A and B are shown apart, each in its own frame.
Chain A
Amino acid sequence: MERENSNKKLLTSVSCHFQRLKAAIHYTVGRLCQQAAADHEREFSRQAIAALAEITFRQCDIFATDLEAFARHAKRQTVTADDVKLLARRSAALSNYIQQKSEELAQNNQEQKERRKKNAAKRKTKSSTENEADMAMEP
């Protein structure tokens, strides 16, 4: 009985999670549609936006399944940017765009890493000079 209850609780929490993710996607899809429509002086009906949100959610399922298969094919447990590039291979324009974005991301990461390294080095020298100062203070 208790187990059944906990199972039910688990089930509701999973479906709640599901609904919330769907709502999050619906919200972003709605915003994107409104922006696109504002540029062309048109308006999306609520059903159209709901349909687009549902399509996007199901497309996520397809994307995720593909990504997982690609990662597994490369004998990895983690989906990487390369897998996403492979996912976008079918359309040349999309593929180029994703490639470009990926390079931007890599560059950003590199810069951040360098900045962090620099900061760490600075901190090190600072603390060492402080130490020296402390040493100097001590007779």
Chain B
Amino acid sequence: MAGAGPETIFKKETVSKVLTLFFKDDKTKASNDAVSLMAEMLKIFVIEAAQRAMKQAENEDSLGVDLEHVEKVLPQLLLDF
């Protein structure tokens, strides 16, 4: 199961490729440190989203976290990042 290994984190390669994919200018590059920090930031984003969705599910007294819980926390999440 998950949690067996060390902490899960986005691969630097993936983050770098995603960023360069979304850069409008082909010449823009990302430094090594920037990619590491972005991986960290994306991890925080996902964990925060998951925590908020779980909180929402808890408030509705539901054991499973479903799409509707994610939908309810989405607007505030996007405003906070």
Contact = CB atoms under 8 A, between A and B. Distances in A.
Contact of B22 (A28, A65, A94, A97): A65
B14 A33 contact: no
A33 B46 CA distance: 8
Contacts of B63: 42-43
A97 to B, nearest CB: 7
Interface string A83-121: 111011011001001100110011001000000000000
B37 A67 contact: no
A24 interface: yes
Interface in B8-52: 8-11, 14, 17-19, 21-25, 27-31, 33-34, 36-38, 40-47, 49-51
Interface of A: 17-18, 21, 24-25, 28-29, 31-38, 40, 42-45, 47-48, 51-52, 55-57, 59-61, 63-65, 67-68, 71-72, 77-81, 83-85, 87-88, 90-91, 94, 97-98, 101-102, 105-106, 109
B44 to A, nearest CB: 6
Contacts of B10: 25, 28
A31 B57 contact: no
B14 A64 contact: no
A106 B37 CA distance: 11
B interface: dominant SS: helix
- Interface pairs A-B: 5 shortest CB-CB: A64-B22, A81-B33, A34-B2, A84-B37, A36-B50
A48 B70 CA distance: 6
Contacts of B34: 67, 78-81, 83-84
B35 to A, nearest CB: 9
A44 B14 contact: no
Contacts of B69: 48
Nearest to A85: B37
B64 A45 contact: yes
A18 B21 contact: yes
A91 B77 CA distance: 12
